[in-house]
């Protein structure tokens, strides 16, 4: 079986040696030694001023909306994982969809301004498959209309744009460290900001609102990462270069073997140092996609339809017209991509794809 992804697991003895510190301290949650160590190492590695680790990659979006005091309408993309939209609704705001750029697959920055109303308070955009949005245009629009900006950067670990971490853009950026991601903590996430005051607000929101053991700074929930997840992150970190190198090689093999056969690839935005987080291909029609997917499945190969269906079709949002996102969602398929995927596997996958186009 070749799944769309495969979790990287470090050697068990290395994980256990790190986890032993938590056992020795009898401290497995509430921001122990390992979580703090991981935060410091990630700040240095990524070149970010502030980050807070969390227990998953969705709750940072909820906290960001709460910390920024957002109400009313939030402009967002219909082409993302459901958490982007569901979080907006969960926090009692209204998602307003702006269609996507058909090449970069990110929110179409040229269509954002026409969607702004007196009720708009923020833009929540997704860096799709690690491909950055047009952050400079979005920043200018936000300043012009006094809007906040949140980036769902769940796929963006290690991505740089214009020479710096993509996490440095927006009022808040969030990331997922789920087991399927190229860097993971089994389950976890993080939220980033360049504003020290906002960082403090995000931080107390993620820890019940505590200000010391007996005082409270404000409203909060429990979003803390455990020491078990911290240990996993620390044991994965030394292998990042090898993981990235193998994924880059796999993507380049895919691109070479699938060149000039009628498939379309996502265009990486100029100025981006990409992380090879996913390998999406766009078919000429949904019918061809379904045919290819059926053959792959019959041969034990399990690609996945990210992101299908378009979020504008969710039954808890107001119907909105997003024809480009709707079409892309019907025609895009992510092929298997992970650190151990061999050239032989890639050749087998691509041969089956080309034979059934």
Q: What is the percent of the chain with per-residue pLDDT over 70, rounded to a whole number?
A: 100
- The model's confidence at residue 270, banded by pLDDT at 50, 70 and 90, is very high
Mean pLDDT of 304-316: 95
Domain spans of the chain? Answer: 2-238, 239-355
pLDDT given at position 291: 98
Does the domain formed by 2-238 have CATH 3.90.1150.10?
no
Whole-number Cα distances in Å, 261 to 117, 255, 265, 338: 44, 11, 11, 23
pLDDT given at position 140: 98
pLDDT given at position 212: 85
Q: Measuring CA to CA, which residue among 98, 141, 147, 100 is closest to residue 119?
A: 147
Specify the fold of 239-355: 3.90.1150
SS3 170: coil
Mean pLDDT of 156-172: 98
pLDDT given at position 265: 98
Mean pLDDT of 229-249: 98
- 348's enclosing H/E stretch is helix 343-355
- Concatenated DSSP letters for 303-345? -B-TT-S-GGG-TTS-----HHHHHHHHHEEEEP--TT--HHH
Instruction: For residues 186 and 179, give the distance between their C-alpha atoms in angstroms, rounded to a whole number.
Output: 4
Domain 2-238 identical in fold to domain 239-355: no
Mean pLDDT of 173-178: 98
> Residue 189 above 90 pLDDT?
yes
First-to-last C-alpha distance (Å) of the chain: 22
Whole-number mean pLDDT of the chain?
A: 97
Q: Is 318 exposed, middle or buried (0-12, 13-18, 19+ CB in 10 A)?
A: exposed
- The model's confidence at residue 214, banded by pLDDT at 50, 70 and 90, is confident
Give tens-digit pLDDT for 36-57. Answer: 999 999 999 999 999 999 999 9
R_g over Cα of the chain: 21
- The model's confidence at residue 92, banded by pLDDT at 50, 70 and 90, is very high
Instruction: For residues 247 and 252, give the distance between their C-alpha atoms in angstroms, rounded to a whole number.
Output: 9
> Residue 213 above 90 pLDDT?
no
């Amino acid at each position: 079986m070749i799944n769309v992804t495969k979790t990287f697991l470090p050697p068990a003895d290395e994980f256990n040696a790190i986890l032993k510190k938590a056992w020795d301290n009898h401290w497995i949650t509430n921001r122990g030694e390992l979580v703090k160590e991981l935060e410091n190492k990630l700040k240095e590695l990524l070149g970010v001023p502030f980050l807070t680790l969390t227990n998953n990659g969705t709750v940072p979006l909820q906290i960001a909306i709460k910390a920024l005091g957002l109400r009313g309408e939030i402009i967002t993309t219909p082409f993302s994982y459901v958490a982007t939209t569901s979080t907006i609704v969960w926090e009692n705001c209204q998602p307003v969809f702006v269609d996507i750029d058909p090449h970069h697959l990110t929110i179409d920055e040229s269509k954002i301004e026409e969607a702004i109303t007196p009720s708009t308070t923020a833009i929540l955009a997704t860096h799709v498959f690690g491909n950055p949005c047009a952050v400079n245009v979005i920043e200018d629009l936000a300043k012009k209309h006094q809007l906040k900006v949140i980036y769902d950067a769940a796929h963006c670990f290690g991505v740089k744009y214009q020479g710096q971490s993509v996490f440095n853009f927006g009022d808040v950026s969030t990331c997922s460290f789920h087991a399927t991601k190229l860097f993971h903590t089994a389950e976890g996430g993080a939220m980033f900001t360049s504003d020290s005051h906002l960082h403090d607000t995000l931080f107390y929101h993620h820890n019940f609102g505590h200000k010391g053991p007996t005082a409270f700074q404000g409203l909060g929930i429990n979003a803390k990462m455990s020491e078990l997840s911290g240990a996993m992150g620390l044991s994965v970190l030394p292998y990042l270069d090898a993981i990235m190198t193998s994924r880059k090689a796999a993507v380049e093999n895919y691109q070479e073997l699938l060149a000039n056969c009628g498939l379309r690839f996502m265009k990486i935005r100029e100025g981006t140092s990409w992380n090879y987080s996913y390998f999406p291909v766009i078919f000429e029609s949904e019918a061809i996609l379904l045919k290819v997917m059926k053959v792959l499945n019959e041969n034990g190969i399990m690609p996945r339809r990210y992101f299908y269906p378009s979020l504008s079709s969710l039954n808890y949002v107001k119907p909105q017209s997003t024809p480009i996102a709707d079409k892309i969602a019907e025609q895009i398929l992510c092929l298997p991509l992970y650190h151990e995927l061999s050239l032989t596997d890639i050749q087998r996958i691509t041969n089956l794809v080309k034979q059934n186009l």
